[in-house]
Structure 1
Amino acid sequence: MTHCPHALDDGAYVLGALSPSERAEYERHLAGCPACREAVAEIAVLPGLLGRLTDPDSLDLTPATPLPDRMPALLEAVGAERRRLRKVRRRRYVGAALVAAGLAAVVGVGVAGADAGWFGGGPSAGQVTARGTQIGVKLVAMQPVGGAVPVTAEIGINGTKWGTEISMRCAYKSGGDSSKAWTFRLVAHGADGATEQVGSWRAAAGETVEMNGATRFTGRELVRLELTSYDGKPLLAYDVP
């Protein structure tokens, strides 16, 4: 398992112990790291819990007045909150699995193979490939980055007050080994150099995938969309006018 270089930064981030540059770097990292977002969510209650402790300036520090030990109660409160969040996540996972199973039975979505292919991606059990997404905006073609690649894509954007809705249709060159699947990602680039992953998926030769996603970048903040391979190599791009 790959170790996340920011795995130990969640506590410092929540408690405000990072410098402005470190905080900005960590927030960019959070956009593409579900594990770190989950870690931050689990301890987000710490500042509020710490705020319940007695103000040190108001404590009576004379030897005759022993200070109450608040740490056991604090640890118990943090543990209870973590257990509550785990239960909520488990219920969400079960609900999502049931919905996915129902869609697979009704729509008949394709299942990709398990081996790595031209674009890489580690061995995995069969993955569901999304199809039949409703696309209601005009699509324009993404352009190859640095040479020909066996994939084409069309992209459409719709600006909102809170960000930008993104629709995409990808087609993968047929004639290859359909038992192999490749991992792709759609990445949004902001005007300030920040990036945000819009979505990721797996697909095999001859398949077409449609997806809808969104990014927090609004209006002129969104400058570029890139379709990348599993290792981050840009394959196709669309520069937002």
Structure 2
Amino acid sequence: MSCDRTVALGAYLLGALDPAERSSFERHVRGCTTCRREMVRLAPLPGLLGQVRPADLELPFEDPAPDPDLRPLPPEPEPEPVPPPARRRRWPVLVGAAVLAVLVAVGAVLVPRLVGDDRAAVTWHAADAGTGVVASADLVAKSWGTELWMSLENAPRGARCKLIVHDRSGRTEIGGWWGTDHAPDERIPGSTSFRVADIERLDVVVDMRVLVSVRP
């Protein structure tokens, strides 16, 4: 399966999208397995590109040595001086070459290690008919437990939300706290020591009332 919006992943990871485009792309990623897989695969790119110095991209060029058997030509009249082209015009080519080089390196070195993490990243959706609250949760497997990213719509304004994580053996943990005065498409971080496979549900609670329960 392919997705025509994966071409925007590079700009998203490098922070080149404007706020409206970024919000639109994040909403798309929540429901697109292909884009999430590519995002996990290319996630190391910004850090690797940050280690590239401009001096590393400037390749020295030396003039070839003159041939002693060739007779010199008579001097030509000097042309009118032409301003040198702005150096910044070279950057799109240089950066493009650097990105391609890093992509090759990432594909050869990092992809085998990231395949397992991609399979462990899942997204759950839920909507509560009584409260009208709609929630989406991205669960990412980590060595210490699970990283959580929540998106919430229609929550009561001015409230404090608590995320309660339930595992399949009956244990509970608080995965995070946040205020509800945020944009509908904002992603809220959380965490739990439970593994993804052990999580039974996520409850979003305000004042002891469950607004929505998110399950696989």
Bucket of the pairwise TM-score, normalised by the shorter protein: 0.3 to 0.5
Structure number with higher helix proportion: 2
